A and B are shown apart, each in its own frame.
Chain A
Amino acid sequence: MDIFDLSGLFLSGAWGTLRLFLLALVGSLALGTLLAAMRVSPTPVLRGAAATYVTVVRNTPLTLVMFFCAFGLPILDIQFASDRGLNSFFYASLALSAYTACFVAETLRSGIAAIPVGQAEAARAIGLSFRQTLSLIVLPQAFRTVIPPLGSVVIAMLKNTSIASAFNNRELISAMRSGIEIRGDMVITILIATALIYLVLALGLGRIFDLLERKLVILR
């Protein structure tokens, strides 16, 4: 196997990492926003449920969350696709989303706390409901406030996709392992190449968050 075959292997591995990341990004942002909204809701049951979820899942190792999804869900007969590989992909995305959502929720909650309470009062005073106040006034500003720390959460999730390699997923780490098996003489090169690809992806993400921060800044 020459260097071109290896790069092909890595390219498909990088794509595997990227699609895992993208699906989990959407999932974790959606679930994280929902959890943050529940935590500031006037209904005690919702507040309690969200707090419990965050406490339990945040304090569980991601590897264990992956085990629950990859081995627990099949026992409960929960399958997302007939194809085994695709099914593993959805299990891993779900585990990543469920886990990262806790950190998204906590980050967002600090952003919500940073929005002057007077703005929420003004929104209620013109007759907006709790949901409207949250979705139109509070959350849009909270998101903009937490772009820098949210960037760290998202970059951490990108790197956490590597754990999926142990659960029948084809991504960068599994590509790396195949590469090492085939070309045992190039171990160091392959390790460094893998690290570089993660670095490029993470730097790209950091750049996107920098741009977002500059573009969405709120004048105060």
Chain B
Amino acid sequence: MIQHTSEQRPLVQMRQVQKFFGDFQALKDIDLDIQAGEVVVVIGPSGSGKSTLCRTINRLETIDSGEILIDGEKLPEEGARLAKLRSDVGMVFQSFNLFAHKTILENVTLGPMKVRRLPAAKAKEEAMALLERVGVAHQAQKYPAQLSGGQQQRVAIARALAMKPKVMLFDEPTSALDPEMINEVLDVMVTLAKEGMTMVVVTHEMGFARKAANRVVFMADGQIVEVAEPEEFFTNPQSARAKDFLSKILTH
């Protein structure tokens, strides 16, 4: 579906990004390049800025200085150009955020029909194929509240994929799920990663990081502290902050 291009330009470029909430600096000197086809897991203690980083990439969160480029194009400030760019960046949220008054099928067809101007029949055909792929096709006529959390999150992934995005952002996609539903969502994400989708995943699921990630980005206090391959990061963290963090999440 997505080929690893020989193109050298990174798909996502973040240059000296700074972000403040009032006096609090949420992102500090962020420099990060993400290549096409790469899967980057962002990890770190709560309040470290990892979700904020994820949300700045499609400008759900504005930045105070620095710049972010998607496929070489600088993120527009507002308006139609920003909407256009967002349609190429898929996003999956912690709390699913499916449209509660629309059926599962309508949730997935809405974007292609209203943004891409796809005819209804074509949009439905593609949506059903995507729902089939994430294993919820038989629920297409139901409403979000009638599905389990795991199913809702898989629908949310299908909704994002329906736009045929260049890159997918996952903001703690399994944090709101019951334990027995985490794997059904992670399985879909691992498959997606194997198919070559460019992904930025904020998560604490180390199993996923080990299985699917090319790089782990460790954040603390709004800064990127360490970047390493997953195995390297989990077995031999370099920074004191990362050692401390891993010791806390690994002891149980």
The chain A residues found within 8 Å of chain B, CB to CB, are 42, 116, 118-119, 121-129, 132, 136-137, 140-141, 144, 218-220
Contact = CB atoms under 8 A, between A and B. Distances in A.
A127 B118 CA distance: 14
A42 B98 CA distance: 23
A213 to B, nearest CB: 14
Contacts of B80: 129
A219 B60 contact: no
A122 B98 contact: yes
B84 A126 contact: no
Interface string B51-66: 0000000101000000
Contacts of B110: 126, 128, 136
B120 interface: no
Nearest to A119: B97
B233 interface: no
Which 4 A/B pairs are nearest by Cβ-Cβ distance?
A: A127-B87, A219-B145, A126-B111, A118-B97
A132 B114 contact: yes
Contacts of A121: 60, 93, 97
Contact of B99 (A122, A127, A219): A122
Contacts of A140: 101
A168 B101 CA distance: 45
A126 B101 contact: no
Interface in B131-190: 143-146, 156, 159-160, 162-163
Contacts of A137: 99
B125 interface: no
17 contacts: A121-B60, A122-B97, A122-B99, A122-B159, A125-B160, A126-B160, A126-B163, A127-B83, A127-B88, A128-B111, A132-B114, A136-B114, A144-B101, A218-B100, A218-B101, A219-B100, A220-B100
* Max count, chain B CB within 10 A of own CB: residue among A122, A125, A140: A125
Given A42-B78, A219-B143, A122 B163 contact: no
B30 to A, nearest CB: 20
A156 B115 CA distance: 40
B100 A126 contact: no
B250 to A, nearest CB: 31
Contacts of B159: 122, 126
A116 B94 CA distance: 13
Interface of B: 58, 60, 78, 80, 83-84, 86-91, 93, 95, 97-101, 110-111, 114-115, 143-146, 156, 159-160, 162-163
Contacts of B58: 125
Contacts of A129: 80, 83
Contacts of A42: 78
Contacts of B89: 125
Contacts of B87: 126-127
A91 B116 CA distance: 44
B95 A118 contact: yes
Contact of B100 (A125, A128, A132, A141): A141
A121 B91 CA distance: 10
A116 B60 CA distance: 15
Contacts of A128: 83, 110-111, 114-115
Given A126-B111, A126-B163, A141-B100, 9 more contacts: A118-B97, A119-B99, A121-B60, A123-B99, A125-B60, A127-B87, A128-B114, A128-B115, A218-B101
B62 to A, nearest CB: 12
Contacts of B111: 126-128
A11 B209 CA distance: 75
Contacts of A141: 100-101
Nearest to A133: B83
Given A42-B78, A118-B93, A124 B86 contact: yes
Contacts of B98: 119, 122
A124 B114 contact: no
A136 B106 CA distance: 11
Given A42-B78, A121-B60, A136-B110, A126 B115 contact: yes
Contacts of B97: 116, 118-119, 121-122
B101 A127 contact: no
A127 to B, nearest CB: 3
A12 to B, nearest CB: 41
Nearest to A117: B97
Contacts of B84: 127
